[in-house]
Amino acid sequence: AQSVTQLGSHVSVSEGALVLLRCNYSSSVPPYLFWYVQYPNQGLQLLLKYTSAATLVKGINGFEAEFKKSETSFHLTKPSAHMSDAAEYFCAVGGTGFQKLVFGTGTRLLVSP
Amino acid sequence: GAGVSQSPSNKVTEKGKDVELRCDPISGHTALYWYRQRLGQGLEFLIYFQGNSAPDKSGLPSDRFSAERTGESVSTLTIQRTQQEDSAVYLCASRTGLAGSTDTQYFGPGTRLTVL
């Protein structure tokens, strides 16, 4: 079985500050891990994914995430927040095969001027 | 088309009515998924289609929910005798579906269903 826990339903940062969104996973098989972003009234867009290659994964819009097996974590970071980063972020875990994704409950990122 | 499309974008219905939601996957994608997103919650897996294999229906919440897919193209999610608890955004996703691949699921914009 697989599961994802996202700590913090809301995270608030100031523009220019570091963004850190936390994700911990549980998986009985080697996991594939994903971060998706959802802007208001839109579908999900892939930010980045980990598929057992490099543990530090770089994505779009300056985001990156590091896979830490010992901590079962895949936290999302961005050095400097922009107003346009305000959105909901979902962490998801999948396995091999048909890759049904199990999603966390999401973290809403609020960016203030 | 360039991306996954879904219709209608919004659907308001009365309790007890049946609804059909449509998904057009990216051309050539053999794998298609339906998810449900309730307000303030994450996505729940509903059903998965892969080529001509039997679909994985393990996420369907009740027998009021069903889905079909015509070959490797359009899929329809049907909810019979809708209940207020069915109100949610229904998201469709597709991917190439190559065996053992780790390719990305691409999501449509969703259908917002409101049951009055």
Instruction: Please indicate whether residue B39 or residue B68 has the higher confidence score (pLDDT).
Output: B68
pLDDT of residue A54: 84
Are residues A98 and B31, on separate chains, in Cβ contact within 8 Å?
Answer: yes
Residue of B107, B112, B114 to mutate for A, most A C-beta atoms under 10 A: B107
pLDDT of residue A97: 59
CB of A101 less than 8 A from some CB of B? yes
| Mean pLDDT lowest among A14-18, A29-33, B35-39 | A29-33
Q: Residue A109 pLDDT more than 90?
A: yes
Q: Residue B59 pLDDT more than 60?
A: yes
Q: Which residue of B has its CA nearest to A31?
A: B102
For residue A107, count CB atoms less than 10 angstroms from its CB and return exposed for 0-12, middle for 13-18, buried for 19 or more: buried
| Structure-block tokens of residue A4 | 């994802």
| Structure-block tokens of residue A12 | 């608030």
Interface A:B, Cβ pairs < 8 A = 57
Are residues A99 and B95, on separate chains, in Cβ contact within 8 Å?
Answer: yes
Binned at pLDDT 50, 70 and 90, residue A30 comes out as confident
How many other CB atoms sit within 10 Å of the CB of residue B84?
A: 9
What amino acid occupies position A93?
Answer: V
Give residue-wise pLDDT tens across range B81-104: 999 999 999 999 998 876 656 678
Give residue-wise pLDDT tens across range B35-50: 999 987 888 999 999 8
Task: Determine the distance in angstroms separating the CA of B9 from the nearest CA of chain A, rounded to an integer.
Answer: 10
Q: Which residue of B has its CA nearest to A53?
A: B102
Q: Which residue of A has its CA nearest to B57?
A: A100
Instruction: Please indicate whether residue A64 or residue A97 has the higher confidence score (pLDDT).
Output: A64
pLDDT of residue B51: 83
Residues 6+ apart with CB under 8 A from B14: B82, B115, B116
pLDDT of residue B47: 94
Residue of A100, A102, A108 to mutate for B, most B C-beta atoms under 10 A: A100
Across chain B, mean pLDDT equals 91
